[in-house]
């Protein structure tokens, strides 16, 4: 007989949902994880080869303990899956001296006693010749920064969840859910199910599944480009730390060549296009390339060769760009999980653990003060 009743249903099997299913199943829960597209796919927020992970957290120092646990869990997953998921390159956080990126990263290092070095633009270029930052910029080098192979991580979490007994379905969209008795009922494009608890990890589509989240989430079109370096050796992972960087043109991030050919670069809040994830222009256009190319030509000139690939992707922004991870205030059996605003991937592993804590224990030892719903009241 097909199983229809579960301890937990996880809606969305992207970065966060795959991690949540993995941790819940390993802690003995019966789990159904439902994904509307393929597993993995390139329609949401977790594709595009890799994602930066870094300890020097300019966004807020209180993320650092979560990051430490995240690193531990990614390394465990790497060992267990036998795949190369995490690559350490060091991370550069740079801006004008008073800028938020450098200053915030330095504060995190000082508060949490993280190894770091401060480099002028000239010192940075001396050490890593791919970089050509303006005079007056300061760069913080933190040796434990690097990147995660995000699609491989997602697959490793799904395989681990399956191994621990979770049921995972691709190509099955959740159409609606309702609170019923002490649990929930869920209707999909293929079937109906019941569960004691529901975890919404639907990324850019979370607003369509939760009236509580809808006014708080703003999905935004992003574009990534991979340019062929003119000096390939300078953009090898052994010679080029990942970066976050504020310049006159905005805030950008980038990677050495890895996974597919090309130096990868993106601009936070690319062209400021707020979108409906159900219906938006996913194709990259010349104006998307132009904005990333002019940045690369100015600050990484030896990387500004022909374009190799481009991809669009979605940020799901909250008003303060901190995550939402909390139990619903309107539906007791529902946990709402929206950790994006352009910086969530590195936390997937620890978010999976937090979700399992919330579902199983009703609370978590991790400090999630920054992520509560009540801050929006
Ligand atoms: C261009 C770009 C660059 C980024 N760079 C970084 C970085 O360097 N470092 C970093 O830490 N973070 C980064 N981020 C942020 C990070 O990638 C996201 O925080 C993370 O991927 C969000 O994962 P998610 O699980 O919430 O979303 P997703 O991975 O999109 O998963 C949501 C899933 O829910 C599914 N779904 C939706 N509705 C339904 C439904 N009704 N039924 C069933 N399934 C459904 C979707 O198909 C999707 O698979 C970046 C994001 C983007 C877009």
Our answer on whether the CB atom of 229 is closer than 6 Å to any ligand 1 atom is: no
* C-alpha closest to that of 46 among 200, 159, 203, 158: 203
The pLDDT score that the predictor gives to residue 97 is 81
Q: What is the pLDDT of residues 185-208, one digit of tens each?
A: 999 999 999 999 999 999 999 999
CA 342 to centroid of ligand 1, rounded, Å = 9
CA 198 to centroid of ligand 1, rounded, Å = 18
Q: What is the pLDDT of residues 87-131, one digit of tens each?
A: 999 999 999 987 889 999 999 999 999 999 999 999 999 999 999
Our answer on whether the CB atom of 183 is closer than 6 Å to any ligand 1 atom is: no
Predicted model pTM: 0.98
Q: Which residues of the chain have pLDDT under 70?
A: 1
Q: Which residue among 145, 152, 313, 345 is best mutated to probe the pocket of ligand 1, counting the most ligand atoms within 8 A of its Cβ?
A: 345
The pLDDT score that the predictor gives to residue 177 is 98
The pLDDT score that the predictor gives to residue 377 is 86
Query: What angle, rounded to 10 degrees, do the helices at 348-360 and 150-163 form?
Result: 30
Say how far apart CA 216 and CA 24 lie, in whole Å.
Answer: 27
Our answer on whether the CB atom of 325 is closer than 6 Å to any ligand 1 atom is: no
Q: Which residue among 55, 340, 347 is best mutated to probe the pocket of ligand 1, counting the most ligand atoms within 8 A of its Cβ?
A: 340
């Amino acid at each position: 007989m097909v199983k229809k009743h579960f301890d937990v249903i996880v809606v969305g099997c992207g970065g966060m949902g795959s991690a949540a299913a993995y941790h819940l199943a390993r802690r003995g829960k019966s789990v159904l994880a439902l994904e509307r597209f393929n597993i993995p796919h390139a329609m949401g927020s977790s594709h595009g080869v890799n994602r930066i992970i870094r300890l020097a957290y300019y966004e807020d120092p209180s993320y650092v303990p979560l990051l430490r646990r995240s690193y531990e869990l990614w390394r465990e997953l790497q060992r267990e899956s036998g795949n190369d998921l995490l690559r350490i390159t060091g991370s550069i956080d740079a801006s004008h001296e008073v800028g938020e990126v450098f200053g915030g990263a330095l504060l995190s290092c000082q508060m949490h006693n993280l190894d770091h070095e401060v480099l002028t633009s000239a010192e940075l270029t001396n050490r890593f010749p791919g970089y050509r930052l303006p005079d007056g910029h300061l760069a913080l080098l933190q040796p434990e920064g690097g990147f995660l192979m995000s699609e491989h991580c997602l697959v490793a979490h799904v395989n681990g969840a399956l191994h621990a007994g979770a049921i995972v379905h691709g190509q099955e969209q959740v159409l609606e859910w309702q609170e019923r008795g002490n649990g929930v009922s869920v209707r999909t494009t293929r079937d109906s199910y019941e569960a004691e608890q529901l975890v919404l990890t639907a990324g850019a589509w979370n607003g369509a599944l939760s009236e509580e989240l809808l006014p708080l989430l703003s999905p935004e079109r992003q574009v990534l480009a991979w340019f062929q370096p003119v000096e390939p050796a300078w953009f090898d992972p052994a010679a080029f730390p990942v970066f976050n960087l504020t310049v006159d043109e905005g805030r950008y991030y980038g990677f050495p060549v890895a996974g597919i050919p090309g130096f990868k670069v993106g601009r936070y809040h690319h062209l400021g296009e707020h979108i409906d994830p159900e219906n938006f222009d996913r194709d990259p256009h010349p104006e998307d390339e132009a904005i990333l190319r002019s940045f690369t030509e100015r600050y990484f000139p030896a990387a500004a060769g022909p374009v190799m690939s481009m991809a669009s992707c979605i940020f799901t922004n909250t008003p303060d760009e901190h995550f939402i991870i909390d139990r619903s205030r309107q539906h007791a059996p529902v946990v709402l999980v929206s950790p994006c605003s352009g910086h969530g991937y590195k936390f997937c592993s620890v978010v999976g653990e937090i979700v399992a804590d919330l579902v199983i224990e009703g609370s978590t030892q991790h400090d999630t003060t920054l992520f509560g719903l009540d801050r929006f009241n």
